[in-house]
Amino acid sequence: MEIISNPTQDDIKKAAKAIKDGHLVAFPTETVYGLGADATDEKAVSRIYSVKGRPTDHPLIVHISSINQLDKWAIDIPGYALKIANEFWPGPMTLILNRSALAKDFITGGQDSVGLRVPAHPVALKLLNEFEKLGGLGIAAPSANKFGAVSPTNSEAVIEEIGSELSQRDMILDGGDSNVGLESTIIDCTKVVPDILRPGAITIGMIRFYTEHKISISKTSNGIRASGLLKTHYSPKAKVVLGAEAKKGDGFLAMADISTPIGAIRLASPRTIEEFARQLYQALRLGDHKNLTKIIVIPPIGGGLSDAIRDRLVRSVIDK
């Protein structure tokens, strides 16, 4: 597999060609790194599942270069969905819409809906544009980690997660640290009322303004529609414990104004909620690098992005 740092336009062209030829390319987005394949190529998409060790009934997000590509993949798009797509794309938001005939069962996990997103990272957008110049229609990309593990927010984390599973003609594009650090907000737009399936940087308060509807946040997790909604996910090797007292040798993650308990090992000191989101997965990974058995996290308070951080933290807790 080839790893390319700060890819040039030519590098990105080469990566687009690799995807068109049926290979996998891990690429940066502003949320987390994705593992991309041609969304119309069943064989390439099946490799995503085997590399990740992900059950095949978990649907994938199709990434497109702009809102103009939406009609290819989705039908019966409600007006409110178009409004928020216009407002927040490119950006950290995925819309679940009724699928067109192009979105096959191997993308949607057999459901009649498809997840679509226009990412904002310049490398991701250039990759999508080059891919479309070659006749490509969309790039399917889950987060580039093993199923159930912490999403990668830089290329080192991608290599750590799936590097050994990639083949010679696959590629990793390195575009630095992901700016948001948490996966996109997923909004189900298949019903009259929008429903937030996964909270993220596009918050309920931001969306509310653009729809006349009441918005709901899905509290139920059926585990099949969205793997990120499984009760446990996003888990490091260390045991994550929320809000407990840190003892000597425990990892510790909290806002900078909360001091480190004596003997605990500080993993990050975010000064803002945005920094907390950006540093969360790197801090959990650092805990694993230090072979810690326990990481105590003091979750941030408040709504908005804090909701998304707490959502991931709650799911990262596994009984072990």
Name which of ligand TXA, Mg ion, none residue 284 binds, using a CB cut-off of 5 to 8 Å depending on partner kind: none
Smallest distance, Å, CB 149 to ligand TXA?
Answer: 10
| Partner residues linked to 297 by β-bridges | 242, 253
Using Cβ positions, the residue closest to Mg ion within the complex turns out to be 143
Rounded to the nearest 5 degrees, what angle is found at the Cα of 273, between the Cα atoms of 267 and 277? Answer: 60
Angstrom CA distances, 63 to 47, 126, 130, stand at: 17, 12, 13
User: Closer to Mg ion at the Cβ: 143 or 211?
Assistant: 143
| Partner residues linked to 36 by β-bridges | 25
| Partner residues linked to 149 by β-bridges | 235
Contact 143, 34 (CB under 8 A): yes
Binding mask 210-249 for ligand TXA (x = CB under 6 A): ---------------xxxx---------------------
* Secondary structure class of 254 (helix, strand, coil): coil
Which listed residue (7, 34, 152, 251) binds ligand TXA by CB under 6 A? Answer: 34
DSSP secondary-structure letter at 256?
A: T
Q: What part of residues 125-144 is at the interface with Mg ion (CB under 5 A)? A: 143
Contact 124, 215 (CB under 8 A): no
> What does the alpha-carbon distance between residue 245 and residue 247 come to, in Å, rounded to a whole number?
6
Q: What part of residues 73-112 is at the interface with Mg ion (CB under 5 A)? A: none
Q: What part of residues 78-107 is at the interface with ligand TXA (CB under 6 A)? A: 94, 96
Contact 118, 133 (CB under 8 A): no
- Indicate whether 138 belongs to the interface with ligand TXA (CB under 6 A): no
Smallest distance, Å, CB 296 to ligand TXA?
Answer: 26
Smallest distance, Å, CB 259 to ligand TXA?
Answer: 33
Smallest distance, Å, CB 310 to ligand TXA?
Answer: 17
For every residue of 169-237, DSSP letters joined together read: T-EEEE--S-SS-SPPEEEE-SSSS-EEEE--SS-HHHHHTT-SS--EE-----SSS-GGGSSS-SB-S
Rounded to the nearest 5 degrees, what angle is found at the Cα of 64, between the Cα atoms of 135 and 113? Answer: 110
**Piece of the chain touching ligand TXA by CB under 6 A; list 11-19, 29-37, 68-76, 269-277:** 29-37
Binding mask 169-208 for ligand TXA (x = CB under 6 A): --------------xx-x----------x-----------
- Indicate whether 269 belongs to the interface with ligand TXA (CB under 6 A): no
Name which of Mg ion, ligand TXA, none residue 18 binds, using a CB cut-off of 5 to 8 Å depending on partner kind: none
Nearest to 24 by CA among 8, 5, 39: 39
User: Closer to ligand TXA at the Cβ: 94 or 269?
Assistant: 94
Rounded to the nearest 5 degrees, what angle is found at the Cα of 53, between the Cα atoms of 49 and 58? Answer: 55
User: Closer to ligand TXA at the Cβ: 252 or 276?
Assistant: 276
- Indicate whether 117 belongs to the interface with ligand TXA (CB under 6 A): yes
Query: Could you list the residues that contact ligand TXA (CB under 6 A)?
Result: 29, 31-32, 34, 58-61, 94, 96, 108, 111, 113-115, 117, 119, 141-143, 183-184, 186, 197, 225-228
* Residues at the site binding Mg ion, with contacts judged by CB under 5 A: 143
